[in-house]
């Protein structure tokens, strides 16, 4: 099955930037979505951003809109999450996921956990005050 590997996490001060990468081991269908989620102890995994593999379908959570940008390089089977103006509340383990559902009527990816078939191992992001 598809394997996903994240990288790019680290520790930065508030206001700084990081770029996360997620590379898939094999092709995933163009009508499905790639997504980024984050998780902290005691809370449910939260959808952050998503993009349709074939283009479009972009979704951002309200908490990151205007600060984070999702993009992809299909030639490399890689999806990116550029994170700017980072805040301490962005501290979390970040996971990428593959084969999420695409809402073609509204041109947006769904970010329900149950809609994604494959998950990476996670990369830690820590933002200091």
Q: What are the tens digits of pLDDT across the range 44-85?
A: 999 999 999 999 999 999 999 999 999 999 899 999 999 999
According to the model, what pLDDT value does residue 28 have?
77
Alpha carbon 6 to its chain's center: 10
At 4, is the pLDDT very low, low, confident or very high (cuts 50, 70, 90)?
very high
According to the model, what pLDDT value does residue 89 have?
97
According to the model, what pLDDT value does residue 97 have?
97
Q: What three-state secondary structure class fits 96?
A: strand
What are the tens digits of pLDDT across the range 6-49? Answer: 999 999 999 999 999 999 998 778 889 999 999 999 999 999 99
What are the tens digits of pLDDT across the range 88-99? Answer: 999 999 999 999
* Burial track 18-36 (b if 16+ CB lie within 10 A, e otherwise): bebbbbbeeebeeebbbbb
């Amino acid at each position: 099955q598809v394997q996903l590997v994240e990288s790019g996490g680290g520790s930065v001060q508030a206001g700084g930037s990081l770029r996360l990468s997620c590379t898939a081991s094999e092709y995933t269908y163009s009508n499905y979505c790639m997504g980024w989620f984050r998780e902290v102890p005691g809370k449910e995994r939260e959808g952050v951003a998503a993009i349709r593999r074939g283009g479009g379908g972009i979704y951002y959570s309200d908490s990151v809109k205007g600060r984070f940008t999702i993009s992809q390089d299909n030639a490399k089977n890689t999806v990116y999450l550029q994170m700017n103006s980072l805040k301490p509340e962005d501290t979390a383990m970040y996971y990428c996921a593959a084969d999420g559902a695409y809402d073609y009527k509204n041109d947006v990816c769904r970010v329900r956990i149950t809609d994604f078939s494959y998950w990476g191992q996670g990369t830690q992001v820590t933002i200091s005050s």
